């Protein structure tokens, strides 16, 4: 093959890869898919995020933060809300690579792959339960959070930063909000917020997100 033609083909390929990895969804943010097999598409009610079977996690403690996400820049104080649709619970004993049978989708507050907070609608196969979950990481270590009971139906999650505080809330009907947890913010001023989903089971899963709302001082 002619060397010039080969260079053109390689340039076209890598330009295409870069374009896909930096796809911008209007109203939602930048799509980031480290593994490259988790499509995010518009649907009538919002967006869908499809995650195949395998290891797509968001856990700095085990140095795996390859779950797909859609993020926007935020600066200082902000409020972010999104509605997370329901989805099937995983079956027990279906986790991959020694993981529990665990799936989750919701809000991600991201500084880098060692410093983040996740606020999710979560389902466990072993517990046969759906619950709200918060995990906050600093320098790769879990520094707080918790699991909280919820009904098995769609829910809207809210995350606020007010100076050095993070306030996590939820509602089923978008009118009666329940403050679930408050944490001290351990992240920098300039960070990113948006939606993400994880899947560490043997079965594909699809998440649905609706009605994103971001109020930021930026």
- Compute the C-alpha angle 184/207/45, nearest 5°: 100
- The structure's pTM equals 0.89
pLDDT digits (tens, 9 = 90+) for 176-200: 999 999 999 999 999 999 999 999 9
Residue that wins the pLDDT comparison between 7 and 205: 205
Distance of alpha carbon 201 from alpha carbon 57, whole angstroms = 10
**How crowded is the C-beta side of 134, counted as CA atoms within 13 Å?**
22
**Dist CA 198 CA 59 (whole Å):** 10
Give the tens place of pLDDT for each residue, 79-109.
999 999 999 999 999 999 999 999 999 999 9
Name the domain count of the chain. 1
Domain extent at residue 74: 3-216
List residues bridging with 207 in a β-sheet: 49
- Contact status, residue 157 vs residue 170, Cβ threshold 8 Å: yes
Which CATH number do you get for residue 158?
2.60.120.200
A 10 A CB-CB count for 126 gives 14
């Amino acid at each position: 093959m002619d060397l010039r033609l080969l260079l053109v083909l390689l340039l076209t390929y890598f330009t295409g890869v870069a374009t896909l990895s930096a796809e911008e969804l209007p109203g939602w943010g930048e799509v980031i898919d480290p593994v490259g097999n988790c499509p995010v598409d518009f649907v009538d009610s919002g967006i869908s995020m499809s995650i195949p079977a395998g290891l797509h996690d968001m856990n700095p403690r085990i140095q795996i933060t390859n779950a797909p996400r859609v993020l926007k820049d935020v600066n200082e104080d902000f409020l972010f809300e999104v509605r997370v649709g329901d989805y099937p619970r995983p079956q027990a004993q279906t986790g991959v690579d020694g993981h529990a049978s665990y799936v989750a989708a919701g809000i991600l507050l991201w500084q880098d792959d060692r410093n983040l907070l996740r606020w999710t609608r979560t389902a466990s196969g072993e517990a046969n339960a759906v619950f709200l979950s918060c995990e906050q990481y600093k320098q790769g270590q879990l520094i707080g959070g918790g699991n909280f009971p919820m009904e098995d139906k769609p829910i809207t999650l809210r995350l606020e930063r007010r100076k050095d505080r993070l306030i996590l809330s939820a509602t089923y009907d978008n009118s009666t909000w329940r403050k679930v947890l408050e944490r001290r913010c351990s992240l920098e001023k300039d960070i990113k917020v948006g939606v993400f989903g994880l899947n560490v089971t043997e079965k594909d899963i699809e998440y649905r997100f609706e009605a994103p709302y971001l109020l930021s001082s930026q």
